[in-house]
């Protein structure tokens, strides 16, 4: 087999809390998706660098006001956290917790790419869980600072009533801002290995990767810092994730690194073994590129353009809704070759608007462009293109009470109200909209443009500084939206979305 060059980051986009396995020749990865629906994207690769989305674990997680963005309720920064992906015998498993529901979920399927998922719910929050299968026994190891183990029934559907249920150990706390969490558990060559992330407040003061190991499941465990490196990027540590081997016997770790507004991006680290300890990187550092005995494969962007020319109401897998959609209020078939978004609820901001359709942004720079037909919008309606995170900005059309159209650029105030930076009277019934993003060296800016013909672009409003905050806990996304402030029933038709 010829070698390939893996260059970090493998994706300059938001793929937080990666969990990777290899099944036969194929690598699979699941990632945190929080309030985006469908949730828990399943991605696959033949070589750990070229990934494509092939499925999601669930279409919606729960059906309540917060998940549906109703009556001011939301699950920004909540929803599904830190999923664990595993395969055992003939079944794939995904396990994660949801702090807004105070529950832990286990989904199971025989067919990871196309199959139906069976869902099981465990009451209580098992923070950042990792499944561990050993013969006929199944365990979940979880926690933050205090690391616990619970035994599950052998079908991995619920807690085993008379099984193991105890604290394994407590992790270091002196000089630590964020204690160990994000467990990834393995049984290899007679050892139990537990990988964690922690964030010291002293010393390097950045995220780092730890490994605890023991020959006994219940310990005692030895501890070692196995990676403390930022790849020369603003003291942003590379950490949180697990390990996987290739068919050729090479080992790799798949971790993430904070890249500010674009999100937490995936990094592949070569792994070797010394005296039964995993050794991450080269001389303690993450290589910017390295050779691996893995096959070449086709590259698939995780963000894609869309002409909306589907013959059925089925979106490309690259799209996710902001919270649960109302499936009665969008269509790809009502007007062929257009995405139609209808208003069905009154709100005052895009952050609270249902049926905002989103994709990731990617660094070092990218642009999103759409063409909007707004002649069926109603007074009070607002529709367009948004750079979506807590400190968002959008460009689009707003309709005044006298049915006058204005192209507007708007930002979010700190009190969750919208501030219109600039509004200009617009006389046509369709418009081209564009947002340019710059994530180079964490510049993290968005600029907003409109055009009557898609050729000559005019900037409007102001440059928006983007920030990664825990309010949304997600990298900036591009979104298409339509919401009503006065009456429902308005329609916005999007001709296409182009990603550049």
Q: What's the confidence (pLDDT) of residue 41?
A: 97
Q: What's the confidence (pLDDT) of residue 415?
A: 75
User: Would you say the CATH fold of 320-499 matches that of 4-292?
Assistant: no
Q: What's the confidence (pLDDT) of residue 166?
A: 97
Cross-strand bridge partners of residue 213: 193, 222
Buried b (16+ CB within 10 A) or exposed e, 357-375: bbbbbbbebbbbbbbbbbe
Q: What are the extents of the domains in the chain?
A: 4-292, 320-499
**Which option is the CATH number for 320-499: 3.40.50.2300, 2.40.50.40, 2.60.120.200, 3.90.950.20?**
2.60.120.200
| Host H or E run for residue 65 | helix 65-68
Q: What is the pLDDT of residues 196-220, one digit of tens each?
A: 999 999 999 999 999 999 999 999 9
Measured over the CA atoms of residue 160, residue 83, residue 77 and residue 170, the dihedral's sign is positive
Global pTM? Answer: 0.96
429 pLDDT band, cuts 50/70/90, is: confident
DSSP letters of 268-324?
EEEEEEETTEEEESBTTB--SEEEES--------SS--B----SSS---TT-EEESS
350 pLDDT band, cuts 50/70/90, is: very high
2 pLDDT band, cuts 50/70/90, is: confident
Longest alpha-carbon distance in the chain: 76
- Exactly one of 14, 17, 436, 495 is catalytic; which is it? 17
**Which option is the CATH number for 4-292: 3.40.50.150, 2.115.10.20, 1.10.10.60, 3.40.50.300?**
2.115.10.20
CB atoms within 10 A of CB 233: 18
User: Active site includes 17?
Assistant: yes
* CA dist., res. 286 & res. 130, Å (int): 24
Q: What's the confidence (pLDDT) of residue 380?
A: 97
Helix (H, G, I), strand (E, B) or coil at 231: coil
Q: What's the confidence (pLDDT) of residue 485?
A: 97
- Exactly one of 50, 151, 181, 230 is catalytic; which is it? 181
Q: Is the pLDDT assigned to residue 6 strictly greater than 90?
A: yes
| Host H or E run for residue 119 | strand 118-123
């Amino acid at each position: 087999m010829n070698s390939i060059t893996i260059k970090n980051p493998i994706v300059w986009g938001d793929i937080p809390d990666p969990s990777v396995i290899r099944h036969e020749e194929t690598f699979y990865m699941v990632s945190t998706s929080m309030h985006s629906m469908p949730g828990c994207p399943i991605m696959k690769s033949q070589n750990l660098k070229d990934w494509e989305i092939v499925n999601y674990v669930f279409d919606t997680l729960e059906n309540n006001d917060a998940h549906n963005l109703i009556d001011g309720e939301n699950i920004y920064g909540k929803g599904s956290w830190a999923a664990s992906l595993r395969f055992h015998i003939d079944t794939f498993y995904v396990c994660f917790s949801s702090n807004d529901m105070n529950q832990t979920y286990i989904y199971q399927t025989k067919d990871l790419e196309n199959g139906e998922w069976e869902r099981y719910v465990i009451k209580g929050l098992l923070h950042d869980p990792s499944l561990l299968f050993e013969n006929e026994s199944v365990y979940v190891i979880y926690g933050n600072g205090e690391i616990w183990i619970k035994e599950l029934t052998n079908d991995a559907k619920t807690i085993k009533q008379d099984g193991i249920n105890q604290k394994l150990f407590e992790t270091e706390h002196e000089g630590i801002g964020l204690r160990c969490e994000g467990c990834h558990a393995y049984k290899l060559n007679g050892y139990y290995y537990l990988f964690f992330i922690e964030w010291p407040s002293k010393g390097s003061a950045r995220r780092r990767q730890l490994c605890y190991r023991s020959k006994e499941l219940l310990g005692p465990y030895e501890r070692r810092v196995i990676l403390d490196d930022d790849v020369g990027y603003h003291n942003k540590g590379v950490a949180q994730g697990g390990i996987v081997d290739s068919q050729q016997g090479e080992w790799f770790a798949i971790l993430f690194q904070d890249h500010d507004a674009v999100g937490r991006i995936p990094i592949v680290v070569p792994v070797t073994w010394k005296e039964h300890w995993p050794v991450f990187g080269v001389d303690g550092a993450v290589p910017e590129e390295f050779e691996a005995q893995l096959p070449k494969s086709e590259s698939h962007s995780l963000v894609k353009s869309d002409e909306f020319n589907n013959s059925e109401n089925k979106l490309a897998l690259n799209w996710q809704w902001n919270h649960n959609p109302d499936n009665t209020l969008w269509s790809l078939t009502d007007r062929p070759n257009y995405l139609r978004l209808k208003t069905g609820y009154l709100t005052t901001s895009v952050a609270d608007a249902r049926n905002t359709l989103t994709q990731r942004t990617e660094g070092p720079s990218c642009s999103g462009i759409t063409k909007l037909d707004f002649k069926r919008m109603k007074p009070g309606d607002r529709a367009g293109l948004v750079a979506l995170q807590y400190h968002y900005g959008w460009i689009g059309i707003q309709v005044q009470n006298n049915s006058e159209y204005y192209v507007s650029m708007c930002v979010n105030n700190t009190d969750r109200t919208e501030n219109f930076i600039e509004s200009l009277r617009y006389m046509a019934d369709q418009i081209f909209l564009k947002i340019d993003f710059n994530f180079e060296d964490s510049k993290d800016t968005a600029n907003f443009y409109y055009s009557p013909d898609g050729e000559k672009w005019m900037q409007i409003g102001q440059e928006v500084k983007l920030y990664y905050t825990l309010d949304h806990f997600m990298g900036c996304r591009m979104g298409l939206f339509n919401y009503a402030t006065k009456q429902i029933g308005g329609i916005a038709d999007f001709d296409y979305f182009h990603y550049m």
